[in-house]
């Protein structure tokens, strides 16, 4: 989908294949003590295998460009995991975004194309672990690194 979008676009910043991910909770920049509390919250939540289905391509328009995404079909286990993790993080003292959770995988930002979102054949994956990720620019390239993993 990312490659198809890139072929249809006149420009934009496309997510590197190794950076494609589904965010459960966005935490922003955190120090070592806060990261330890995040790990404790992750450990307190049951991370059972999740079955997710990617079922659509969409965009959030921003002027002449847009953020494009692959939509993850909402399902009860995914929403429960998000809710339980969020509750543990709030109890641990974190202030989190208030907007409704909209599970998606970002395909690209500032995408310029006249093409509308297109239909896809839904496909499913099983998720066996959740990772706490660190993002940083290394040699000018955005790089995500797992700093903790919970099965």
Distance CA 149, CA 130 (A): 6
Indicate which residue of 21, 82, 83, 139 is catalytic: 21
| 104 assigned to active site | yes
Contact 136, 145 (CB under 8 A): yes
Q: What is the 3-state secondary structure (H, E, C) of 32-67?
A: HHHHHHHHHHHHCCCCCCEEEEEEEEEEEEECCEEE
Distance CA 35, CA 41 (A): 10
Across the chain, the runs of DSSP E, i.e. the strands, are 11-14, 50-62, 65-72, 104-112, 123-127, 130-138, 141-150
| 83 assigned to active site | no
Indicate which residue of 51, 82, 104, 137 is catalytic: 104
Residues with catalytic function? 21, 104
């Amino acid at each position: 989908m990312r490659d198809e979008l890139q072929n249809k676009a006149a420009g934009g910043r496309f997510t590197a294949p190794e950076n494609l991910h589904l965010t459960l909770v966005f935490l922003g920049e955190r120090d070592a003590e806060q990261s330890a509390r995040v790990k404790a919250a992750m450990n307190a939540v049951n991370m059972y295998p999740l079955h997710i289905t990617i079922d659509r391509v969409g965009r959030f328009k921003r002027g002449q460009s847009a953020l494009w995404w692959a939509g993850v079909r909402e399902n009860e286990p995914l929403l429960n995991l998000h809710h339980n993790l969020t509750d543990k993080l709030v109890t641990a003292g974190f202030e989190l975004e208030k907007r409704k959770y909209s599970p998606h995988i970002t395909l690209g930002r500032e995408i310029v194309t006249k093409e509308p979102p297109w239909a896809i054949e839904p496909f499913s994956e099983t998720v066996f672990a959740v990772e706490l990720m660190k993002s940083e620019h290394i040699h000018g390239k955005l790089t995500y690194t797992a700093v903790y993993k919970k099965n």
